[in-house]
């Protein structure tokens, strides 16, 4: 068991990649907080996992809700060892047409949410002289994508944030890394493909095939594949890596 007795908060873990991470953490012996804006789904996911999971409603863009998430996690499981900043949204649009509110929505959810959750958990981790903060960025955090300016900016920003925070808290034995998944067929992944296709006047299946053809493996990834990498990054096996942005992308990005 790679995470025996560790306590992890996974934001956006009601479904998709976050859910797969929560399931994998629990199977490695961790207690997991299923923290999501969609409480009904979070509760369902926590029930599926069992006694080692606890659901919390949180909007990661709201400081009071984020501090409440940390408080409830400590009350329930005694402490917090691991934070996974996974909650995220995608919106598509050409820059010349992109409404300011859409830009703000994406940057606030993905980037500010990562900042708020990390800021809120730090005092607990510093007190314990132990912590792992893992942020789920994207291949869009390493390579620009047309019609993805807000999403790419948020995902590049998460990598910059990861590096800056890693430098600040290494002395506190807190390790901070990012994971950059490639295309994964979740609600977010499929929404992004539909929007991309619509903007280009293409059929979604045609756009998906083109996107997938760029990966050397020629297939989409699975949430469980990202989860396996998250287990490694959260575990004590990953004790000499900080400020890294690990690709889990089927080779679509190699830097
Ligand atoms: N699916 C992909 O192809 C892909 C690729 C690279 C990176 N990612 C990243 O992985 C992460 C998870 O994405 P996914 O594909 O599993 O998406 P998903 O849509 O399946 O799940 C996202 C979860 O985040 C929750 N959420 C959204 N806004 C929130 C908020 N303000 N506060 C709390 N929870 C909120 C949703 O309710 C949902 O449960 C995201 O950060 C995404 O950018 C996804």
* pLDDT tens-digit profile, the chain (255 residues): 999 999 999 999 999 999 999 999 999 999 999 999 999 999 999 999 999 999 999 999 999 999 999 999 999 999 999 999 999 999 999 999 999 999 999 999 999 999 999 999 999 999 999 999 999 999 999 999 999 999 999 999 999 999 999 999 999 999 999 999 999 999 999 999 999 999 999 999 999 999 999 999 999 999 999 999 999 999 999 999 999 999 999 999 999
Asked: is 7-185+222-248 a CATH 3.40.350.10 domain? The reply is no
CA of 87 to the centre of ligand 1 (A): 5
Using the mean position of ligand 1's atoms as its centre, give its distance from the Cα of residue 85 in Å: 10
- DSSP secondary structure letters along 180-233: EE----SHHHHHHHHHHHHHTT--HHHHHHHHHHTSTT-S---HHHHHHHHHHH
What is the distance in A from the centroid of ligand 1 to the CA of 171?
31
**Which residues lie closer than 8 Å to 61 by C-beta, 6 or more apart?**
108, 109, 112, 113, 116
User: Is 169 touching ligand 1 by the criterion CB < 6 Å?
Assistant: no
- What residue has token string 């999971």? 53
219 lines ligand 1 (CB under 6 A): no
Q: In Å, how far are 6, 78, 125, 154, 192 from 109, measured between CA atoms? A: 26, 28, 23, 9, 16
Domain ranges of the chain: 7-185+222-248
Distance in angstroms (rounded) separating the CA atoms of residues 128 and 114: 21
Distance CA 86, CA 35 (A): 10
């Amino acid at each position: 068991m790679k995470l025996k007795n560790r306590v992890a908060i996974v934001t956006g873990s009601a479904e998709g990649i976050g859910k797969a991470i929560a399931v994998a953490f629990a199977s490695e012996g961790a207690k997991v907080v299923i923290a999501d804006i969609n409480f009904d789904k979070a509760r369902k996911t926590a029930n599926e996992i069992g006694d080692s999971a606890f659901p919390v409603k949180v909007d990661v863009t709201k400081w009071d809700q984020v501090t409440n998430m940390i408080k409830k996690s400590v009350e329930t499981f005694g402490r917090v060892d691991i934070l996974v900043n996974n909650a995220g949204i995608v919106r598509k649009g050409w820059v010349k047409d992109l409404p300011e509110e859409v830009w703000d929505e994406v940057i606030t959810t993905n980037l500010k949410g990562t900042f708020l959750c990390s800021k809120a958990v730090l005092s607990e981790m510093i007190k314990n002289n132990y912590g792992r903060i893992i942020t789920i960025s994207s291949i869009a955090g390493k390579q620009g994508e047309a019609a993805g300016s807000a999403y790419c900016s948020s995902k590049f920003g998460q990598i910059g944030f990861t590096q800056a925070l890693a430098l600040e808290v290494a002395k506190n034995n807190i390790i901070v890394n990012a994971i950059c998944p490639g295309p994964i067929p979740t609600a977010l992944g499929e929404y992004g493909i539909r929007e991309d296709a619509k903007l280009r006047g293409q059929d979604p299946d045609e756009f998906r095939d083109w996107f997938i053809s760029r990966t050397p493996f020629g297939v989409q990834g699975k949430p469980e594949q990202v989860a396996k990498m998250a287990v490694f990054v959260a575990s004590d096996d990953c004790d000499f890596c900080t400020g890294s942005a690990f690709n889990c992308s089927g080779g679509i990005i190699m830097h």
